[in-house]
Structure 1
Amino acid sequence: MTKRFLPRWVLATTTGETLGFAVPAATGTVMAMVAAPPGVVYVAMIIAGAVEGALLGLGQWWGFGPTRPVPGRAWVGATAAGAALAWSIGMLPSTLGGLDPGSPRVIVAAALGGLVLLASIPVLQWLVLRRVLRPSWWWIPVNMGAWSVGLLWTLAPSPLVDERTPTAVLFGVYLLAGALMAATVAVLTGLAAGRITHTLTHDHAHSPAAPIS
């Protein structure tokens, strides 16, 4: 991994995810302003989440560097699908409502749902990655750990805002939280992404040249 890789990965991933997170943040703000029904909010947030994932995937693809070790369309598509799945799970409690947080069933469902949420993006990305790099299963736990830490930033604004908070302030606070989440995930996944690029670049450099036809 070159000295330039980590700064490029962190900048590209942070930028992609920050811009991406602005989409569901804005969507959620608008949905609250118009008092949209829960079902409408649910669908809108999943769509917004897919856009977030696409921008994150695009940022990561650029962050891999000039070698672009993964196919762009597949990587961006997988990341978008994973983010949409994550939002579909994350929005369930507020959409369903009336859940008893102390119920054993709810606790088990929340734990399983949380694991699927954390695994959604890295598992779908791994399905793309495994086509060019084996073994690459380690990409999944690295990203699950990174997202489990990064998502804590999205909980930080809760004690500071309520229904009386001005819309612009609410959006700004959550956008800042999203940027901090993005930077955290970018830093924590940087070494793993560098390993992918280094391994595939090294293998390509040492593979026999294909005959000219």
Structure 2
Amino acid sequence: MRSRFVRRWIAWVSIGEACGFAVAAAAGVLAEALRLGDAERLVLLVAAGAVEGAALATGQHAAMERDRPRRAAWVGATAAAASLAWLLGMLPSTVGLPEGPWTVVLLVVGGVVLLATIPVAQWLVLRRPGAGRWVPISMGAWLVAILWTAAPSPFVDESSPVLLVVALYVVAGALMAVTVAALTAPLARSLFAR
């Protein structure tokens, strides 16, 4: 029964996150195609981040078998946190960073905060004994999984066909989704399996 839950978790979470990331990737391609300015691109991708978060949370919620948090709270918190994560991730390229030794410190602190946004928001919704483990496990899963989003970079540039760029980032998003799902599955089983 427990292995059934793990398969269920990996399937639902992967589908939710992959679909959500596809929306964010499409928004990025749209921003490029429309040649949006930095501010407009930021707004579009932060909004797409909310869709990604909502899709992820919907997949997670569908996989849960017991002790489910309220769906609206889980989805809302995750969508808001994903928007914040996209905002934090895009700020350095949008507003620029000061040159100097503090740049590395800012990037490291910002990276840790970015990785913590979704796990902390979800932990606040869970509010039960033992749920605190969700934060470090999820942060570690995202740290590993987000590396997939850099994988297409060596294969694309400004002259790459749009369909190739979209396809590579959709595949990267799917790999990211499966990675997050697989790495969080053992803890999710202890929290949400019957």
| Letter aligned with residue 118 of structure 1 | L
The number of aligned residues is 194
Alignment-derived partner of residue 2 in structure 1: 2
Find the residue that maps to 2:130 and give its secondary structure: coil
1:148, CA displacement in angstroms?
0.2
CA distance in 2, matches of 1:98, 1:125: 30
Alignment-derived partner of residue 206 in structure 1: none
1:93, CA displacement in angstroms?
1.6
**C-alpha distance 140-98 of structure 1, shift in aligned 2 (>3 A):** closer
Residue identity over aligned pairs, in percent, reads 47
Q: TM-score, normalization: structure 2?
A: 0.96
CA contact (8 A) 2:9 2:60 kept: yes
1:3, CA displacement in angstroms?
2.5
1:89 correspondence with 2:88? yes
CA distance in 1, matches of 2:86, 2:74: 18
CA contact (8 A) 2:141 2:180 kept: yes
Q: Which runs of 4+ in 1 moved over 3 A?
A: 97-100
1:191 correspondence with 2:186? yes
- The Cα RMSD (Å) is 1.3
1:104, CA displacement in angstroms?
1.2
**Match of residue 128, structure 1, among 102, 125, 130:** 125
CA contact (8 A) 2:38 2:94 kept: yes
Alignment-derived partner of residue 157 in structure 1: 152
CA distance in 2, matches of 1:78, 1:124: 6
1:96, CA displacement in angstroms?
1.4
CA distance in 2, matches of 1:104, 1:14: 38
Q: TM-score, normalization: structure 1?
A: 0.88
1:8, CA displacement in angstroms?
0.3
Alignment-derived partner of residue 37 in structure 2: 37
Alignment-derived partner of residue 167 in structure 2: 172
**Which structure: larger Rg?**
1
Task: Pick the structure with more helix per residue.
Answer: 2
CA contact (8 A) 2:27 2:48 kept: yes
1:105, CA displacement in angstroms?
1.2
Find the residue that maps to 1:91 and give its secondary structure: helix
CA contact (8 A) 2:97 2:103 kept: no
**C-alpha distance 194-151 of structure 1, shift in aligned 2 (>3 A):** same
Gaps of 5+ in 1: 202-213
Alignment-derived partner of residue 16 in structure 2: 16
Gaps of 5+ in 2: none
